[in-house]
Structure 1
């Protein structure tokens, strides 16, 4: 990995662990094993580097979600595969956690990939639900947009509850609850 890649990967890890305010350029440089000159050769500053790190994290989240949501099976099966995928629940969502960082939310260049990713996820889930409706897999009372928003809200809330309780149990319960509600709307 070259210096630029090490900087981006270090920033990604630190943003997830400490947030934007808690991540200093010096800490990023130390973790990446590069000097200040190397950082400023590749990036104009902390915000530019953080933006690259957030965009990469967002891109990876979208790619993982899309692969699972595009897989085989019914709409509920594909959403279940996404919700049940392996993840580090107690660390929280690497994108969703950034919404709690006031500096990220106040900086348009940093906020944009967070906002776009969560909007994309809601839209992609709504698309899968629409496909389920079109195939007759789901009851016609299912509203794809509001249901997709509820799924994302339950997922992000599940992370928060799990972190607060220091156990994955609330997250697992949130996922089970969403899937039970979707299953109740499945046409048999």
Structure 2
């Protein structure tokens, strides 16, 4: 997980990211962070004001990574449908869920404006990015009906996030795959082949 070249602050942020994903905010104790990072208490408090400060750095890093991963697929060449399809079908660790989406279920993160902000900003960015792609497709005549870009983007994000929930609940990625394939089956007939 960690390389020898990683600095102590980097190890602390990475450990916090993993623990937040696995355990949530309350379950991520400073001691667990220090143990996972191989760092002492003094190191942690030398680099970060405390657990909230470290959690914010970890959440921001996770949000940046999610945006980067999504943009690598959404920024490719292709029709609007092809880019949305690529996003929906990209490789994911479905049973672990979305590291950003899971934070929305953490009451301690959602109750803290600073911790909630990067989560909300990232999901808002994703909806906006998808809406822009749908809008490009509508303007370019790629769809047989004038889709509502914002509504379609919200549906795409809700399908992915809901698919994670269904997969985790059933213990099988098949539930996620069924949700994605269902949405693509609805969109595919609307997409004109160019």
Q: Which of 126, 137, 140 in structure 2 is aligned with 1:135?
A: 140
Matches within 5 A, 1:35-184: 35-184=40-189
State the secondary structure of the residue aligned to 1:21. coil
Describe the superposition over 1:66-119 as per-residue Cα deviations: whole angstroms up to 9, x where unpaired: 121110111111111111111110010000000000000000110000000000
Runs of 5+ in structure 2 lacking a partner?
Answer: 1-5
- CA RMSD in angstroms, aligned pairs only: 0.8
CA distance in 1, matches of 2:190, 2:165: 27
The structure 1 segments of at least 4 consecutive aligned residues displaced by more than 4 Å after TM superposition are: none
Describe the superposition over 1:97-146 as per-residue Cα deviations: whole angstroms up to 9, x where unpaired: 00000000000110000000000000000000011111111133310000
Aligned length: 188
Would you say 1:11 and 2:21 are equivalent positions? no
CA distance in 2, matches of 1:174, 1:141: 23
Would you say 1:27 and 2:32 are equivalent positions? yes
CA distance in 2, matches of 1:187, 1:63: 28
State the secondary structure of the residue aligned to 2:119. helix
CA distance in 2, matches of 1:139, 1:27: 54
State the secondary structure of the residue aligned to 1:58. helix
Which position in structure 1 is the counterpart of 2:3? none
Runs of 5+ in structure 1 lacking a partner?
Answer: none
